[in-house]
Amino acid sequence: MAKKWGIRAVLAFLIYLLIMYVYIFHLNDGGIPVSLLGSTSDPKTFMTGQELILSEEYSKIRNFLFFILTPFEWLMYFFILISGLSYLFEKWSMVSKWKVIHNSIYLFLLSLLTFAVFFPINYLRYTLSKGYGISTQDFSSWMRDNVIDFWVNFVITVIVISVLYWIIKKSTKRWWLYAWLLTIPFSIFLMYLQPVIIDPLYNEFYPLKNKELEEKILHLAEQANIPAEHVFEVNMADKTNALNAYVTGVGDNSRIVLWDTTLERLTDEEILFIMGHEMGHYVEKHIYIGIFGYILMMFVGLWLISKIMPWFIKKYGKVFKITNIHQIHSLPLLLLLSSFLLFFSNPIFNTVSRYQEARADQFALEIVQEPEAAITGFQKLAKAGLSEVNPPALVKWFRYTHPPMIERIKTIEDTIKNK
- The answer to whether residue 221 sits within a structural domain is no
pLDDT in tens, 82-107: 998 999 999 898 887 788 898 999 99
Amino acid at 407: E
pLDDT in tens, 25-54: 988 766 788 888 888 888 888 888 898 889
List strand residue ranges (DSSP E) for 22-178, in order. Answer: none
- The answer to whether residue 147 sits within a structural domain is yes
- The answer to whether residue 227 sits within a structural domain is no
pLDDT in tens, 52-73: 889 989 999 999 999 999 999 9
Question: How high is the pLDDT of residue 346?
Answer: 94
Question: How high is the pLDDT of residue 206?
Answer: 86
- The answer to whether residue 222 sits within a structural domain is no
Whole domain around residue 61: which residue ranges?
Answer: 2-202+286-417
pTM above 0.85, yes or no: yes
Whether residue 270 is annotated as binding a ligand: the answer is no
pLDDT in tens, 122-178: 999 999 999 999 999 999 999 999 999 999 999 999 999 999 999 999 998 899 999
Q: How far is CA 36 from CA 44, 183, 279, 289, 397, in A?
A: 11, 46, 30, 34, 22
Average pLDDT over residues 255-261: 86
- The answer to whether residue 247 sits within a structural domain is no
Q: Has residue 419 got a pLDDT over 70?
A: no
- The answer to whether residue 249 sits within a structural domain is no
Q: How far is CA 144 from CA 9, 112, 117, 134, 204, in A?
A: 34, 16, 18, 19, 14
pLDDT in tens, 204-237: 888 888 888 888 888 888 887 777 666 889 999 9
Whether residue 277 is annotated as binding a ligand: the answer is yes
The residues facing 259 across adjacent strands are: 234
Sheet hosting strand 232-234, strand order edge to edge: 205-207, 232-234, 255-259, 245-248
Catalytic residues: 278, 361
Number of domains in the chain: 1
The residues facing 205 across adjacent strands are: 234
Whether residue 357 is annotated as binding a ligand: the answer is yes
Find out whether 117 and 171 touch, Cβ atoms under 8 Å.
no
Q: How confident is the model at residue 1 (pLDDT cuts 50, 70, 90)?
A: low
- The answer to whether residue 380 sits within a structural domain is yes
- The answer to whether residue 106 sits within a structural domain is yes
List b or e across 350-382, with b for residues whose CB sees 16 or more CB atoms inside 10 angstroms. beebbebbbbbbbbbbebbebbebbbbbbbbbb
Residue 232's CB: how many other CB atoms inside 10 A?
16
